Amino acid sequence: MLNVNPDQFVIKPSLATINCEPNWQWKRKAPIPNYDLLYVWSGKGTLILNGKDFKLQRGSCFLFKPGDWTTATQDPMHPLVITYIHFDLEIEPNMIPKSYRILQDRIHFESLLSQYVRLFLVKTFAADIEGKLILKQLMIQLLREDQQSETIQIEESTEMQSQLFFTIREVANYVQQHPGKNHTVESLAARANFSPRYFSKKFKEIMGQTIQSYVVETRIKRAEHLLHYTGMTVTEVADALGYNNIHFFSRQFKAYTGKSPSEIRTLPRIRKSTIKEISLKRNA
């Protein structure tokens, strides 16, 4: 409603701040004919707007639009205190506040509401002019609250994604540091404090492969290093990496590397002195 000038607000006589009676309920037989701003000062209840339920509580604020269907009830043990303001617009607004929110900046909003209602309790000079200015301010604050709420949600979402990425990477790093452990989806999910199903899904999204595939690949890479650089036998490497069956280890190793463990172990290793000699020749 930023494009609406104060003069283009049409004030309706339906407005009040009321303490709802114990048996109070709101059951409309027709859709709302104009805009209706409803604010809850205190109490508890339930409001149904176009088939959707909303809990009424301190700070609940609604902006009903023409054509909306609403009903409401209250908790008799916690009767409602509400303010409602009906108004129309002479032009189509370019931005309309959301239908519902729990206000964060209540003090300023409540001050404006109280000021608006007092204007029309008795005949007050220039009440219509001031009332339209207040309506404009109320709409601006609602739009501002909506914008801030969306910003907070985006920031929270970004922070959650960052934390999720960090958690998954930490688990992946843990697997690399302990390739010989009996890693399972359940044990790694518990480490991340996630459910196994959610953890599996997010791990694949972030790491680009399943947990099982990542664990096996990590073990095979470590096995390849141990066989090529440490002088350990195939049996010793398989045992160190948690394989109880050396034949299964050999098949899995070849499936990932294209070579058998024995072939990797017998590949010639370049000594450091040789590497230094090659480097000196290149610089000569």
pLDDT in tens, 79-133: 999 999 999 999 999 889 999 999 887 899 999 999 999 999 888 899 999 999 9
The whole-number mean pLDDT for each consecutive block of 10 residues of the chain, a chain of 284 residues, reads: 88 92 87 95 95 95 95 94 95 91 89 93 90 95 82 62 87 93 93 92 91 93 89 90 91 90 71 39 44
pLDDT in tens, 240-262: 999 999 999 999 999 988 989 88
pLDDT of residue 162: 80
Domain CATH for 250: 1.10.10.60
Say if residue 78 is in the same domain as residue 120. yes
Say if residue 215 is in the same domain as residue 98. no
Say if residue 242 is in the same domain as residue 281. yes
Query: Which of 137, 152, 167 lies at the terminal end of a domain, its last residue?
Result: 152
* Overall number of domains in the chain: 2
Say if residue 146 is in the same domain as residue 184. no
Q: Write the secondary structure of 104-119 as one string of H (helix), E (strand) and C (coil).
A: CCHHHHHHHHHHHHHH
Distance CA 7, CA 76 (A): 40
Distance CA 75, CA 199 (A): 42
3-state SS assignment for residue 84: strand
Say if residue 12 is in the same domain as residue 145. yes
| Residue 165 is assigned to a structural domain of this protein | no
pLDDT of residue 280: 43
Alpha helical stretches, state H, 99-233: 106-119, 127-177, 185-192, 196-207, 211-229
Q: Which domain holds residue 95?
A: 6-152
Distance CA 248, CA 235 (A): 12
Nearest 5°: CA angle at 37, between 71 and 147?
Answer: 110
Say if residue 146 is in the same domain as residue 228. no
DSSP letter (8 states) at residue 156: H
| Residue 166 is assigned to a structural domain of this protein | no
